[in-house]
């Protein structure tokens, strides 16, 4: 005995009512619930759809679907971090490694020649402006897509959420604090370390804000084969 289209839609509605907003997780849960209900019907043909659903839902415990959502979020966040690391490593291979090294030494000589505090403030100020512009454009595109399809994908939220990136904005202030001492400003090793850290932050920011979102559709189709059909 198979579930009807109306019953399948009811399962989607059921997952939404229990705080599962992401379409990919809804689909996984609906498949699980549908298979479980059909298995119960094979054992007890007179069992009602609603009773079978409630019996299966109780197996998820007092927190319902929240554990499933949390586990899936961790798994996709881990995948996202691997993607970031993969792109980051490409900057340490020829010829990009030459560009990276040039940027590090260029910034080193720049902050050594001029006031390090002012250089860092200007540099990260410009980066922050660029990031805010990118965020505005990307969020606008996401809202437009959501209005069109009515669906939200967990991995899409992770890619465009910049959650891994938020803490990086505080690092320039720690850098400024570390170079406020005049003796430190004259220490080439510390200034080089600051230059290396700053360029690493800039590259990571560029990957998170520009590169990965530009390839988001490919990653989403790879993760969800049905993504291209729904969108």
Using only C-alpha atoms, the chain has a radius of gyration, in whole angstroms, of 25
- Going by pLDDT thresholds of 50, 70 and 90, the confidence category of residue 115 is confident
Residue-averaged pLDDT of the chain:
80
Dump pLDDT digits (tens) for 173-212: 566 556 555 555 677 888 888 888 888 888 888 888 888 8
Task: Give the pLDDT confidence score for residue 179 in this predicted structure.
Answer: 59
Flag whether pLDDT at 19 surpasses 80: yes
Non-local (6+) Cβ contacts of 199 within 8 A are 100, 103, 104, 107
Flag whether pLDDT at 229 surpasses 60: no
Task: Please state the pTM of the whole predicted model.
Answer: 0.68
Nearest to 26 by CA among 16, 17, 35, 36: 16
Of 10-24, 78-92, 175-189, least confident by mean pLDDT is 175-189
Dump pLDDT digits (tens) for 146-166: 777 777 888 888 887 764 555
Task: Give the pLDDT confidence score for residue 7 in this predicted structure.
Answer: 92
Non-local (6+) Cβ contacts of 80 within 8 A are 155, 158, 159, 164, 212
Task: Give the pLDDT confidence score for residue 171 in this predicted structure.
Answer: 63
Residue 61 backbone zone (phi > 0: left; psi -120 to 50: alpha; other: beta): left
């Amino acid at each position: 005995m198979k579930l009807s289209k109306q019953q399948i839609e009811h399962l989607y509605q059921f997952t939404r009512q229990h705080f599962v907003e992401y379409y990919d997780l809804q689909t996984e849960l609906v498949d699980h619930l549908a298979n479980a209900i059909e298995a119960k019907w094979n054992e007890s043909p007179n069992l009602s759809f609603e009773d079978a659903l409630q019996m299966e839902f109780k197996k998820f415990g007092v927190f319902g679907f929240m554990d499933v959502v949390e586990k899936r979020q961790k798994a996709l966040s881990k995948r996202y971090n691997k993607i970031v690391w993969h792109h980051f490593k490409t900057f340490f291979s020829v010829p990009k490694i030459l560009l990276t090294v040039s940027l590090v030494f260029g910034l080193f000589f720049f902050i050594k020649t001029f006031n390090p505090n002012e250089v860092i403030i200007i540099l990260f100020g410009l980066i922050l402006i660029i990031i805010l512009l990118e965020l505005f454009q990307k969020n606008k595109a996401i809202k437009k897509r959501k209005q069109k399809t009515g669906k939200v994908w967990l991995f899409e939220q992770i890619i465009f959420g910049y959650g891994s990136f938020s803490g990086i904005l505080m690092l320039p202030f720690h850098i400024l604090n570390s170079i406020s001492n005049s003796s430190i400003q004259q220490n080439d090793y510390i200034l080089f370390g600051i230059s290396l850290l700053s360029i690493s932050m800039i590259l990571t920011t560029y990957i998170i804000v520009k590169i990965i979102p530009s390839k988001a559709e490919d990653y989403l189709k790879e993760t969800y084969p049905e993504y291209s059909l729904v969108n």
